[in-house]
Amino acid sequence: MFKAIFTNSFGILISRVLGFLRDLLTASALGANIYSDIFFIAFKLPNLFRRIFAEGAFTQVFIPAFARSRHKAVFAVNIFLVFLSIILLITLLVNLLPALFTKAIAVGFTQKSIEIAAPFVAINFWYLPLIFTMTFLSGMLQYKNHFATTAFSTALLNLSLIGALLLSSGKSHSEIVYYLSFGVVFGGLLQLIVHIIAIYNLGLMKLLFGGFKYLRVKSKIIRKDTKKFRNNFFPAMWGNSTAQVSAFLDTFLASFLVTGSISYLYFANRIFQLPLALFAIATSIALFPKVARHLKNNDTLKAREQLKKAFWFLAFVLTASTIGGIILAKEITWLLFERGAFDASDTLQTTAVLRMYMIGLLPFGLQKLFVLWLYAKELQMQAAKIATYSLGIYILFALLFISPFGVAGLALASTLGGIVSFVLAIKIFGVGDFLEIIRSKKALYLLLSAVVFSIFLLFVKDTIEPFIT
């Protein structure tokens, strides 16, 4: 398991380093203004649908269903064609009515801003069918315990965007956003190509060709498998989409605040997502196929043992990340972004948002393990209910906090939603079983390590503070 975690983490680390370089160049070229807001809006919409239709719900339902099916080739191709058809239809609608979709995600924008943003939204949306196809192929690779291609391929998107920024150097803000938008699509194409190569090298291309060849003949045989997939997918889709709905609402509410608020949320969330992706997401991706297999074979003890190892690994690294992110929030933001058009005022605003996000890192990360357990046991409906309650808490506190705390209040509301999700996931998993996991000497070691690390970081902060003020 830890080999797979390392592979995922290392690939994500490279991608995120390149992502921060991309964000550094974006912040320097565009700053935090209407054009940066427009690009983040344009890129957010396909990402919203990508996470709803592709990475989250699709993978979590597809892998167990693919493993269980006796007619894997036909089943996989059938599911792929159905989803791709829906996604292409949505993409065409967005390109026909880009202003309508832009207004839906950025209601606070003026009519002029919507008109400027609409063409960029249409271009960026072509990323969605490319990345869905990649995700489908990624699911098959994960079934074969091959994680490297997917882990490292995200770097190609960031390299494409960095190339777009370098090529657009010295051009107007509007032209830079055009370059970035086409860079998104080109990056998606590169990601798809490397997955096709990996599928070919692992001998899975014959399986796919066989699925296309016999689809018409054997479509009735897989009817039961596809029906079960469909019944599991829709609750899983809602469960995974609530986080994206939350992000959508962040953008929607931030569009009513001062110019740059959407960008503050984006830059702070990028920092927050680094440890979340590097540790929590990498671990859950590596753990999911193993836990699903153990539970499928009714070997609950081995599944729990895998979960316990992952829990303590995440508890230590996410606690350290939380402490570091809260204490050194200003220093991290300054180091990564304060240059060019991104000034000291932008640093302070982004720092406030980042601290609110970082409070929720530990519960956000750990709840992924326990929600993963629910998906592996095909308890998608329970996971969907947890996500619904979490979203409700977020909406309530976002409306309460936006006036007194501004954009930082939206981040705090998101954190509270994550805490509720963690608590409810533990309740369904079993409070007694959870207490059995944490009833260990490791809990004391974790507490002592946190205290020592906090003292060390406070000393580091005092040392470097004079250099950034």
Rounded Cα distance, 288 and 281, in Å: 10
Q: Are 332 and 380 in contact (CB under 8 A)?
A: no
Burial of residue 89 (CB within 10 Å: 0-12, 13-18, 19+) is exposed
- Look at residue 253 in the predicted model and tell me its pLDDT: 86
Rounded Cα distance, 349 and 333, in Å: 10
- Look at residue 187 in the predicted model and tell me its pLDDT: 92
Give the type of residue at 394.
Answer: Y
Q: DSSP letter for 106, please.
A: -
Helix (H) or strand (E) holding 278: none
Rounded Cα distance, 158 and 23, in Å: 9
Cα 138 to Cα 58, 105, 181, 295, 308, distances in angstroms: 11, 29, 24, 22, 26
Q: DSSP letter for 258, please.
A: S
The total number of residues written for the chain in this structure: 469
Name, in order, each residue with C-beta under 8 angstroms of 386's C-beta and a sequence gap of 6 or more: 239, 371, 374, 421, 424, 425, 428
Tens place of pLDDT for every residue, the chain, 469 residues? 556 667 767 777 787 788 778 877 887 777 766 777 778 777 776 776 666 655 567 777 787 777 777 788 888 888 899 889 988 998 999 899 888 888 777 666 777 878 888 888 889 889 989 988 998 898 888 878 787 888 788 889 889 999 998 888 878 878 888 899 999 999 999 999 999 999 999 888 888 888 888 787 777 788 777 887 877 777 877 777 777 778 778 878 887 887 788 888 888 988 898 888 888 887 887 777 777 777 777 788 888 888 888 899 999 999 999 999 999 999 889 888 887 778 888 888 999 999 999 999 999 899 988 988 888 777 878 888 898 999 999 999 999 999 888 889 999 999 999 999 999 999 999 888 898 888 888 888 888 888 888 888 787 777 777 666 5
Give the type of residue at 399.
Answer: L
Provide the H-helix boundaries in 202-275: 205-218, 223-254, 261-275
Name, in order, each residue with C-beta under 8 angstroms of 44's C-beta and a sequence gap of 6 or more: 105, 247, 248, 251
- Look at residue 397 in the predicted model and tell me its pLDDT: 94
Cα 193 to Cα 134, 156, 186, distances in angstroms: 8, 11, 11
Per-residue HEC secondary structure of 342-379 comes to CCHHHHHHHHHHHHHHHCCHHHHHHHHHHHHHHHHCCC
Question: Token digits for 320?
Answer: 């350290």
- Choose among 277, 148, 132, 124: nearest CA to 192: 132
Rounded Cα distance, 109 and 364, in Å: 31
